[in-house]
Copies of this chain bind each other. A is one copy, B any other.
């Protein structure tokens, strides 16, 4: 089995933290500067597993990542949660008044929007990764430029934290998924969560009927989201996460839903990280 784990970003990024917490130390890390290249590295077998942020407390689901998993026929084989703490960091010895531009990943900038309202003279610039900006500032000795990144990144690249924990929501839980090109890497008795996708015709009550089946089969809904179908605006698909105690209950629901719903697809079967 390919033990290379692809992460979005470089070492010191939040994806790297997830990889370290989820896997034991026997994996090597493949750094990717976008989710697209992360997916490519799985498809061309450079990596065996990938770590991908999928949902957080502020922006909700990261829809483009759902689309990447779905359209590339990848599977969710695990999940992991961390509390994301963002910090403003610069080359040592500078003050906030010296900073003209701050670079980071778009999601990190969004999470710190409130903090930067106090400093309208700072221009926020989107970049590929949180930690990579810290590395670049250090390598090129960039004065007047800040990064928004993790404490680990500040330590790794010897940056000074001007303001710690600047994200608006202090308890910013983020859900990451482990993705692979294969499904169901776990034995059935260890599986107690699944991510499903299906489409329904616009008949009244069709979603209620599906949820009734799930409820009758003792599945618990932990997430539901209707999503516009790309290139077919305003036709919706549904993404649903369910948890269960017995795999046999889930197997029964699956057999019924395959008949009831259109384009029924299992995005992944894995172990619930929130028990």
A215 to B55, CA, bound (A): 29
**Chain B residues whose CB sits within 8 angstroms of the CB of A182 once the complex forms:** none
Q: C-beta contact mask, A183-222 vs B, less than 8 Å → 1, else 0? A: 0000000000000000000101101100110110011111
**Chain B residues whose CB sits within 8 angstroms of the CB of A123 once the complex forms:** 125
The chain B residue with its CB closest to the CB of A212 is B208
Tell which of A110, A205, A223 has the most Cβ of chain B within 10 Å: A205
Q: C-beta contact mask, A112-137 vs B, less than 8 Å → 1, else 0? A: 00000000000111100000000000
The chain B residue with its CB closest to the CB of A228 is B57
Given contact pairs A57-B233, A231-B171, A208 touches B205 in the complex (Cβ within 8 A): no
A: contact size bracket = 35 or more
Decide if A46 is an interface residue (CB 8 Å cutoff). no
Which listed residue, B61, B220, B225, touches A202 by the CB 8 Å rule? B220
Given contact pairs A207-B211, A208-B211, A60 touches B218 in the complex (Cβ within 8 A): no
Copies in the complex: 2
Q: C-beta contact mask, A88-131 vs B, less than 8 Å → 1, else 0? A: 00000000000000000010011000000000000111100000
A238 to B124, CA, bound (A): 32
A211 to B204, CA, bound (A): 10
Q: C-beta contact mask, A54-71 vs B, less than 8 Å → 1, else 0? A: 011111110110000000
Majority DSSP secondary structure for residues of A touching B: mixed
How far is the CB of A17 from the nearest CB of chain B, in Å?
Answer: 17
Given contact pairs A208-B211, A224-B207, A59 touches B63 in the complex (Cβ within 8 A): yes
Decide if A4 is an interface residue (CB 8 Å cutoff). no
Q: C-beta contact mask, A72-86 vs B, less than 8 Å → 1, else 0? A: 000000000000000
Beyond contacts A125-B125, A208-B214: 5 other A-B pairs, Cβ-Cβ < 8 A, are A57-B230, A58-B64, A207-B221, A212-B212, A224-B238
